[in-house]
Amino acid sequence: MKKSVLFFFAAVAMVGCHKQEQSFSYNVDKFYDLEVLRYQVPDYDSLSVQQKSLLYYLSEAALWGRDIVYDQNCRYNLRIRRALEQVYCHYADKQDPQFVLLEKYLKRVWFSNGIHHHYSEDKFLPEFDRQWFDKALTECGVSLDEEVKDVMFVPSLMAKRMCQTDGMDLILNSAGNYYGDGVTQAEAEQWYAEHKDDSAEPLWIGLNSRLVKDEQGEIQENVYKVGGLYSAALEKVVENLKKALPYAETEEQRVAIEKMIAYNETGDLELFNEYCIAWVRDLNSRVDYVNGFTETYSDPLGITGTWESLVNFKDIEATKRTKTISENAQWFENHSTTDPKYKKEEVKGVSAKVITAAMLGGDCYPATPIGINLPNANWIRKEYGSKSVTIDNLAHAYSEAAKGNGFDQEFMIDDDIRRLYEQYGVLCGDLHTDLHECVGHGSGKLMPGVSKDDLKEHGSTIEETRADLFGLYYLADPKLVELGLMPNQDAYKAGYYQQMMNGAMTQLVRIEPGKDIEEAHMRNRQLIANWVLEHATNSEVAIVEKDGKHYMQINDYEGLRRLYGELLREIQRITSEGDYEAAKQLVETYAVKVNQDLHKEILARYQKLNLAPYKGFVNPVYTPAYDGEGKITDVSISYSEGYVEQHLRYSQCYSPLPDIN
């Protein structure tokens, strides 16, 4: 399965050039380990009224899916969120210390779309007293079952949103609401195996459904569709997609939107395939979108998609960079370190662009990717190609908010590295994202008889490792200088240093003491860094001690590139052959366990900087103006809405689902 979201570790300050308002404030709120930012939408005024109208209705469709992702993350989430919001709005004493703790907890729930940390998967517990909460609920006239409160307050109940621990039943030990009561991992895997589509153009069975047991204990599918599961939300999504239709920029875009509407109305996976093909073929529209059950990271079996949306438009100038990479995709494929038998003879249709995010929704909000490569179906990518995007304005917001935070002074080994990173860090980050998305995910091929599901729970980690390594290997290639993408042959070193430092050390600020790494992208980064450190027999790279602190030190950048190439070769072999045992061995050896002594040191150093390792966003607000006949004449944009105000408005205006689904 192609996993296509590249998350950005934004703790390091990066310096770049970007059009912006001088008075624009990126920082909105900060609590626990989370920081909320605001992003700009540059060049919005350059859009036509037609494009703004299209963007507006696609944005409305994005917001109506919010309840779905809460419910997918845990079946208690909607009841908990709504109860907390009622207390927040109606509790009399806003200065009550217990109320202040409730406010902080509610902010966490909003950020994570539920009661489990959006990245670590662990449940976070309220700091306010349960007895006080009972009284507050009564005072505000809110009813909440004891069962729901137990889930909130008892640490052992639904402790992990998604379990990835080897040897445990991944479904029964996950709080995610992707499977009905009593459905076991073995039963689900057997059902998927029995219903697998082995045709040349297979349907993604399970992408848009929940497996449940009927009264006789037989497994059935509850399909996400209008009239089915999540109907009330999908009806509103469809309503706004229909409103967007008259403003489609191209015939290809109109067909794609129509297919998405029909798919939501019927749940027919054949229509989803047709939508994906139509969407990939739409190359000339400036406004674009992702909408629906897309990425499968949150399902412990990696089958069912989580609802997400991202509305965007093309950054015409910056897209020239990704266009250059895309046009040379075959060269990159031909010259990779992978075995020739695993290479594509013809790389088709890798459409790459840099985009400006205009609205984030579902699993893309508040925390969001900065790069996307879709669709995920291998056969569609092979026959019709894929779209690869880098989200420039979000990366820029991360960078601007992080300036001067002291991170690079604390964790980079010396001034030479810091100067190198200051000069080339943004460029390396952009190019690595481009290479990861444009050519990394689109590279390589599966051997006959190999399925996207053969790597099972390790598929996401291995796929992200493969795309990251592809990008890292070529970041140092003279081809990038030849193409005018890199200014010189030393600039890539900034990217290499950041990857090794982050993968082996600084990303650990996101992990609680004593915990393993669960999230696929973090596992990918540590797998690469730890494998390279172990195989650096000629001291190409090492963790060294200096003045009582540990730092990453790279002694041989060319040697490091060779190591990246060696690992890429093996990861591609594992992917192409569907070698589950080899994937499991790599992940469990290098990606999961944390060096506890180093972890403790990194956390202590990071804590002194008073930084938040996780960042997310509030969205702009779009307001349409109408003429006397009800036709949109313009859509204005505002950046004034705060974090609390936005979430309360979304809950009031875009919350159609019942408490229990």
**Domain parsing of the chain, residue ranges:** 5-18+52-67+228-617, 68-163+629-653
Give the model's confidence band at 385: pLDDT under 50 very low, under 70 low, under 90 confident, else very high. confident
Omega cis (within 30) before 375: yes
Question: What does DSSP say about strands 371-374 and 386-391: parallel, antiparallel, or unpaired?
Answer: antiparallel
DSSP 125: P
**DSSP bridge pairs for 544:** 551
For residue 589, give the amino acid letter: T
d(CA 649, CA 7): 27
pLDDT of the residue at 20: 41
Mean pLDDT, residues 297-320 taken together: 94
d(CA 497, CA 336): 21
Looking at every residue in the chain, the average pLDDT score rounds to 93
Mean pLDDT, residues 532-550 taken together: 96
Residue 161 pLDDT greater than 50, yes or no: yes
- 436 touches 6 (CB < 8 A): yes
Give the model's confidence band at 16: pLDDT under 50 very low, under 70 low, under 90 confident, else very high. very low
DSSP notation for 149-209:
HHHHH-TTTT-BSS---TTS-TTTT---SSB-TT--HHHHHHHHHHT---SSS---TTTTE
Which residues, in sequence order, are CB contacts of 581 under 8 Å at separation 6+? none
d(CA 217, CA 168): 22
pLDDT of the residue at 244: 98
pLDDT of the residue at 193: 95
d(CA 175, CA 563): 38
pLDDT of the residue at 127: 98
- Going from the C-alpha of 65 to that of each of 31, 238, 365, 420, 651, the distances in angstroms are 26, 10, 11, 43, 11
State whether residue 18 is helix, strand or coil: coil
Instruction: Name the least confident of 79-93, 201-215, 399-413.
Output: 399-413
pLDDT of the residue at 493: 97
19-22 own/partner pairs: CB under 8 Å, 24+ apart: 19/43, 20/396, 20/400
Topology of 5-18+52-67+228-617 in CATH?
Answer: Fructose-1,6-Bisphosphatase; Chain A, domain 1 (3.30.540)
Name the percent of the chain lying above pLDDT 70: 96
Give the model's confidence band at 7: pLDDT under 50 very low, under 70 low, under 90 confident, else very high. very low
Q: Which two tokens stand for residue 551?
A: 């730092």
- Going from the C-alpha of 631 to that of each of 242, 584, 624, 625, 635, the distances in angstroms are 15, 57, 9, 8, 11
pLDDT of the residue at 45: 96
pLDDT per position as a tens digit, 358-374:
999 999 999 998 778 89
With CA atoms as reference, report the closest residue to 512 among 61, 28, 32: 32
Mean pLDDT, residues 249-272 taken together: 98
pLDDT per position as a tens digit, 92-112:
999 999 999 999 999 999 999
d(CA 136, CA 91): 7
- 101 touches 126 (CB < 8 A): yes
Give the model's confidence band at 349: pLDDT under 50 very low, under 70 low, under 90 confident, else very high. low
